[in-house]
Amino acid sequence: MFGLRILAFFLVFASSLFAEERPNILFCIADDWGWPHAGAYGDEGVLTPAFDRVAEQGVLMRYAFVSSPSCTPSRNAILTGRYHWELGPGAQLWSTLPEELETFPHLLEDAGYRIGHYRKSWGPGKLDGKWEKRHPAGPKYQSFEQFLAEGPENQPFAFWLGARDPHRGYREGSGVENGIDLEKVHLFEHFPDHEVVRSDVADYYHEVQRFDRLVGHALDLLDERGVLDNTLVVVTGDHGMPFPRAKSNCYDSGVRVPLAILWKAGAIHRLEPYESFVSLVDLAPTFLEAAGLEPLEVMNGRSLLPVLRGEKDDFNRSYVIFGKERHVPGQEAPDMGGYPTRGIRTERFLYLRNYQPDRWPNGGPNWKRSAIPGVWYGDTDNGPTKTYIIEHKDSDEAHARYWQWNFGKRPAEELYDCELDPGQLTNVIDDPAYKNALLYLKGLMQERQLASGDPRAEGGPPLPDWDNMIYLGRGPRHPDAN
């Protein structure tokens, strides 16, 4: 009996010691914040001292990509560590999260972590079944400060620090009013260089900076409590900026995001940016491994900890895959479908397969015939840049090209040489010089689609009826729509 008591005491002591060694986790995610809009990436127009601090003291990821450039599927993929196409209705905007799935916050909670979230975490959509009582990201708090104040000091925590910034709408002119220099804003090549567009991007920058201040305040709170060193901090966005050819598109402007990771006690630090490709589906396995847990076998993501610590570099992923199902049902009635796409990105190339090239890639122009009454180019949020490009499409050849790049129909396949064409504007799919590269990329993408259970893969599982699944939102409406 005495021996059993000694054993029980030892197990309790060991468990307590292990709990103290396990890191806290702070996951900071902006809403519609895309690459390369942070000081650490060389963008001189936006001030992001908190993100830059995490990047400088930890690791800056050069090639970070989401699973899908749309809020709900991107966040579902992050929470589950699985590509969005594995998640049934959860592959689409304004949908749900099937209750048979598991999320990393609850796996951590089951292992003794205290969990919670602030503002936007999962969604948008409707939660049913077990998720009604057990939110995928944990209980909601009014602030990170409240979460810290109400918890025991000796219990590790995992907190999802969400934000609504820099999601539209913006107050026009807010960027200039707050000191953003229009000459320094970064314009993708598919944007016309006009003051209206520059001012719109400046308004976006203003909200990026507001998100960065939220992150900075959270870091200060951890510092004040003396727990920053043993907190695994991740700062990122859920997809590209809410502008044409960005959000809801599978170009770098839509699927590539800022990502910086810090964990001082975990020896995470690199002097140079990490150059291999990572996907945000890698975060769930990373969080679980940091907590001493095994990632679920169904997770397609891979833990980043070994390479972030410099223990080994066999991760060395030379490509990443991603895609899109339905963002908004913006086609002409009665078509409720989206614009399904899959893509693969290597250091040199971007290859895209568009499965329904007859459809409008960003929703149709005829708002009077839209599947959702009044919705106008539904996959692109309303704003000055969108309006400018559409209103000037017939002005001259240059503006006609801007409209085509941003809103025109696309071929079934696209291939871009990112070394020669970083803006990804010249489709070389029919150029014989790229035949071998094209065959390689198509084969590799097909292989990875099959391995991850993608129904869009040739020979993959049965295709869900994504086109006709419930959609709970609306979409950007034409100014004249009632």
Average pLDDT, integer, range 183-197? 98
Is the same domain home to 415 and 282? no
The pLDDT, as a whole number, for residue 437 is: 98
Instruction: Mark which of 265, 298, 317 sits at the end of a domain.
Output: 317
Residue 253 included in any domain: yes
Is the same domain home to 49 and 123? yes
Is the same domain home to 185 and 287? yes
The pLDDT, as a whole number, for residue 315 is: 64
**Total domain count, the chain:** 2
**Scanning the structure block, which residue is given the tokens 């910034």?**
165
Residues 482, 480: Cα–Cα separation, whole Å = 6
The pLDDT, as a whole number, for residue 11 is: 33
Is the same domain home to 311 and 327? no
Residues 479, 470: Cα–Cα separation, whole Å = 26
The pLDDT, as a whole number, for residue 258 is: 98
Is the same domain home to 47 and 118? yes
Is the same domain home to 294 and 362? no
**Scanning the structure block, which residue is given the tokens 């991760």?**
315
Is the same domain home to 174 and 293? yes
Residue 299's domain is classified under what CATH number? 3.40.720.10
Residue 3 included in any domain: no
Is the same domain home to 273 and 374? no
Is the same domain home to 334 and 269? no
Residues 186, 179: Cα–Cα separation, whole Å = 15
Average pLDDT, integer, range 82-89? 97
Residue 236 included in any domain: yes
Instruction: Mark which of 267, 294, 317 sits at the end of a domain.
Output: 317
Residue 455 included in any domain: yes
Residue 13 included in any domain: no
Is the same domain home to 335 and 289? no
Domain that includes residue 191, residue range? 19-317
Residue 5 included in any domain: no
Is the same domain home to 197 and 260? yes
In tens, the pLDDT along 436-448 reads 999 999 999 999 9
pLDDT band at 269 (very low <50, low <70, confident <90, very high): confident
Per-residue tokens: 410: 């696309």
Residue 4 included in any domain: no
In tens, the pLDDT along 209-265 reads 999 999 999 999 999 999 999 999 999 999 999 999 999 999 999 999 999 999 999
What pTM, to 2 d.p., does this model score?
A: 0.94
Residues 341, 334: Cα–Cα separation, whole Å = 21
Instruction: Mark which of 297, 317, 337 sits at the end of a domain.
Output: 317
Is the same domain home to 336 and 236? no
The answer on pLDDT for 85 being more than 50 is: yes
Residue 479 included in any domain: no
Question: In the chain, pLDDT over 90 holds for what percent of residues?
Answer: 91
The answer on pLDDT for 313 being more than 70 is: no
The pLDDT, as a whole number, for residue 317 is: 87
Q: Which residue, among 250, 206, 458, 227, has the nearest Cα to 361 in the 3D structure?
A: 250
**Scanning the structure block, which residue is given the tokens 């969080």?**
287
The answer on pLDDT for 382 being more than 60 is: yes
